[in-house]
Amino acid sequence: MKPVRTFDLRLWLPLLVALILLGNYAAWSLLQYRHLGDEVRQQQMHVWQENLARLQQAVSQKLLAGDIGGAEELLTSYGTDPGVVAIAVIDEQDRVLFANRFAWKGRPAAETLPGFRPDLARQVRQHDRRLSPRIEQQHLRAYYPVALATRPGQIRPSREGLLYLDYDLQPALANIARTLWRDARLLLVLTLASLGLILLVLNRLVTRPLQRLGEHSQRLADNDFRPAPVHGRGELGRLAEAFNRMARQLQQQIREREEREQHLDRTLESIGDAVIATDARGRITRLNPVAEQLTGWTAREALGQPIESVFVIHNARTGETIPNPVETVLETGRIVELANDTTLVARDGSQYQIADSAAPIRSEQGIEGVILVFHDVSEAYRVREERRIAAIALETSNAMLITDAEGAILRCNPGFTRLTGFTEAELAGQGIDDLLDTVPAEGAFCDAFTRRLEDTGDWRGATTVRDRQGHRLHVWLTITAVRDDAGQITHFVASLSDLSALEEARQALQASRDKYQTLLDSLHDGVFLIHEGRYVDGNTKLF
């Protein structure tokens, strides 16, 4: 919506009213001046048309009768009007025969009479018709033909003279202007008086209520919801009622918002995951207690901080910094989840393995923030890593068994299957003592075996294991105890190395030695062997 401009009513409204009044009067005066000026022109033109017609006839009669003095006296009587600039009778040579001014008599009309045009005078003489009054530059000018007295010897009058009039309309127009100006001064006095009254009314009925409404709006900004002290039935009264209604609605909305925020705070505090909220610039606006614990920042300290200052993460395996998910969400507008192996570095340097996701907070205007939810998966990560390492260990070539604390077999690796032929499904639930000859079930040796595992956590030695066909296989056995956080044994891990080839070589060597000794003993003479001066072997005949 386009903003509306305002102005100071106390100053501009009276000035606006005054300007409107004065502008209207100025326009009216101009129109009135033009109208009255047109009336004056038409009136003067009509009056002088009649006067000149009478004067033309009377002057012509007197001149034809030879009464030049009477004609001049008659002409002079019309020249007493203040607007008459020049009224004269001009002979056929365009010289002033007589005029309203004696000094013009006998002089050339074109040089003496203002506005006289010889070309128009010739037209009037040639066509013997009058040129009615016409207005030229606020002057009324007319050319009327008159008959002059004949010269001696002439049979009929042939001399054509002119009756010329130059009437200035400015005095009449100036009189109109003076009248209008007098009225304008009276109107100005009335306007100033009206402005004073308007200012008084504005101050009492408009300005003061508006000031009260302004003070009321300031109180609303300070959460003071008392009603506006303005009453009445006019527009300002309705405006005050609208203010009061708005104040009640605002108070209700603030109360509801506070309740929602309190509910949201309680909800966030009750969530087991850490929650961080940011604005559209990536600055923190909210931090719940779990997030405080994991990041090492209190909600008050973190408020307004950039997310990258509080939520510091890197890859657990490589140590490289991971792009902050909040920034990624603000750039892409999509939900982002952190990859595995993410480590959060707290303010005090503590490190936690976390899993999290970040999602945009949207409004009608677009993304207005980001909500980041994460939780501590350090223990799960540790277990997963141990399982991953154990899985890798189980994939080794050595035969391996995993049992519970009671010795029941839980898992075996492919190496054990290759060694014995037993599958994991066949061994599940069997006791390890059913396969291994070394693990005692009872007796003094069983107690010693158990004490060694409890004291040192492992036992190792040569033993035999039965395969699926019941054959005994010579193996090197290593048993390691797995303890929980309380130190209690929860599992056993047994590693078996096949000694069958070594045992077969030992037996073959022993058989060869027996044959060698039998051969020596079968000789009748005593035999002994010496190597580098030392006795090595001999037969029984020497003893």
* Tokens (6 digits) for 540: 């029984």
CA distances from 224 to 177, 238, 250, 320, 441 (A): 62, 20, 11, 54, 85
pLDDT at 509 over 50: yes
* pLDDT at res. 278: 92
- How many CB atoms neighbour CB 266 within 10 A? 10
The stretch 378-387 carries a mean pLDDT of: 66
Estimate to the nearest angstrom the gap between the alpha carbon of 133 and the chain centroid: 76
Contact 96, 109 (CB under 8 A): yes
Q: Which residue has the higher pLDDT, 517 or 111?
A: 111
State the distance between the two ends of the chain, measured CA to CA, in whole angstroms: 127
* pLDDT at res. 401: 85
3-state secondary structure 28-83: HHHHHHHHHHHHHHHHHHHHHHHHHHHHHHHHHHHHHCCCHHHHHHHHHHHCCCCC
Q: How far apart are CA 135 and CA 137, in angstroms?
A: 7
Q: How far apart are CA 334 and CA 360, in angstroms?
A: 7
Alpha helices in 222-368 (DSSP H): 235-270, 289-295, 299-302, 307-310, 325-332
* pLDDT at res. 444: 43
* pLDDT at res. 458: 79
DSSP string, 210-263: HHHHHHHHHHHHTT--PPPS---SSHHHHHHHHHHHHHHHHHHHHHHHHHHHHH
**Nearest to residue 163, comparing CAs of 242, 281, 263, 84?**
84
Q: Convert the pLDDT of each residue in 429-449 to its tens digit.
A: 888 777 776 555 444 444 555
Q: Convert the pLDDT of each residue in 80-137 to its tens digit.
A: 888 888 888 888 888 888 888 888 888 998 888 888 888 888 888 777 677 777 777 7
Q: Convert the pLDDT of each residue in 14-29 to its tens digit.
A: 677 777 777 777 787 7
pLDDT at 151 over 60: no
Domain boundaries, the chain: 12-149+157-175, 271-377, 395-498, 505-540
* Tokens (6 digits) for 422: 């037993």
Phi and psi torsions of 5, nearest 5°: -80, 145
* pLDDT at res. 57: 85
* pLDDT at res. 442: 47
Kindly indicate the confidence band of residue 534, based on its pLDDT and cuts at 50, 70 and 90.
Answer: confident
H or E element in which residue 448 lies: helix 444-456
271-377 against 395-498: fold identical: yes
Helix (H, G, I), strand (E, B) or coil at 323: coil
Contact 513, 520 (CB under 8 A): no
CA angle 145, 150, 156 (to 5 degrees): 90
**Nearest to residue 406, comparing CAs of 429, 379, 385, 438?**
429
* pLDDT at res. 113: 86
Q: Convert the pLDDT of each residue in 349-381 to its tens digit.
A: 888 888 878 899 888 888 889 988 888 877 666
Conformation bin of residue 129: beta by default, left when phi > 0, alpha when psi is -120 to 50: beta
> CATH class for domain 271-377?
alpha beta
* pLDDT at res. 100: 86
> CATH class for domain 12-149+157-175?
alpha beta
> CATH class for domain 395-498?
alpha beta
